[in-house]
Amino acid sequence: MYNKYDNYIFDLYGTLVDIHTDEESLELWTNMAGKLKDEYGANYEAKELRATYLKLCKEEEKDLQSKNHAEYPEIKIERVWAKLISDKINEKVAPASLEDLCIYFREESRDKFTLYKDTMNLINGLRKDGKKVFLLSNAQRFFTEKELDETGLTPCFDDIFISSDKGVKKPQKEFLEELIKSNNLEPSRCVMIGNETFSDGGVAEKNGVDAIIVKDGDFSDIG
């Protein structure tokens, strides 16, 4: 069935997984403020926490960009939470210790999370036909690792690239370029499949890879 390409490189959110998050909700930030106070002794009002979080995200991105010179840098969100706590308790907190906090934030902000109905049929069909299947996701490791496990997708991929691990995100050329090189792929035999023309289509074009843009789990153009 799948004859044109040997390597299928998928975006995750909005492509294989139907998800919606709301990071502006006052309830979310109230819950996060309560958790920081109860578990870490860091006292914030909800609105103060959100404003400081956004400010620190921008600072982290600017700092990372000054180091890796990427047009599209991707921070590690655990570093932001570590700073938020450390600044209040005057004690250094290790970002790596905050996986549970990051997951809590993600799950509190999430009101929809499910595989599209044809996702597993598509991936299983590709693998049955001897195709290689990869993931290239603009995402946070601490969020996405658990979500991949929950959906059963983790073992489906020959390799998984998550932007927070690499310090860059789509459409940064080097993000896809590293996946191609590390897996010895031929660009002309690859296709990037995602739901965003700018990021998914953009990174594909920069690497000489075809792209298929899908919407709402409609995979009818793949094959």
List 112's β-bridge partners, or say none. 20
Place of tokens 């294989």: 16
Q: What pLDDT sits at residue 28?
A: 98
**What confidence score (pLDDT) does residue 1 get?**
53
Give the pLDDT confidence score for residue 144 in this predicted structure.
97
Helix (H) or strand (E) holding 137: strand 132-137
Given a contact cutoff of 8 angstroms between Cβ atoms, the answer to whether 211 and 192 are in contact is yes
Q: Give residue 2's pLDDT.
A: 61
Q: Could you tell me how many residues make up the chain?
A: 223
pTM: 0.96
Residue carrying the six token digits 């309560």: 34
Q: Is 62 helix (H, G, I), strand (E, B) or coil?
A: helix
How do beta strands 7-10 and 190-194 pair? Answer: parallel
Phi, psi of 185 (to 5 degrees): -95, 150
What's the confidence (pLDDT) of residue 170? 98
- Cα–Cα distances (Å) from 191 to 36, 42, 169, 208, in that order, read 43, 46, 18, 10
pLDDT, residue 222, reads 87
What residues does 137 pair with on adjacent strands?
162
Q: What is the pLDDT along the chain (223 residues), one digit of tens a residue?
A: 567 899 999 999 999 999 999 999 999 999 999 999 999 999 999 999 999 999 999 999 999 999 999 999 999 999 999 999 999 999 999 999 999 999 999 999 999 999 999 999 999 999 999 999 999 999 999 999 999 999 999 999 999 999 999 999 999 999 999 999 999 999 999 999 999 999 999 999 999 999 999 999 999 988 7
Q: What is the DSSP letter of 10?
A: E
What does the pLDDT read at residue 4?
83
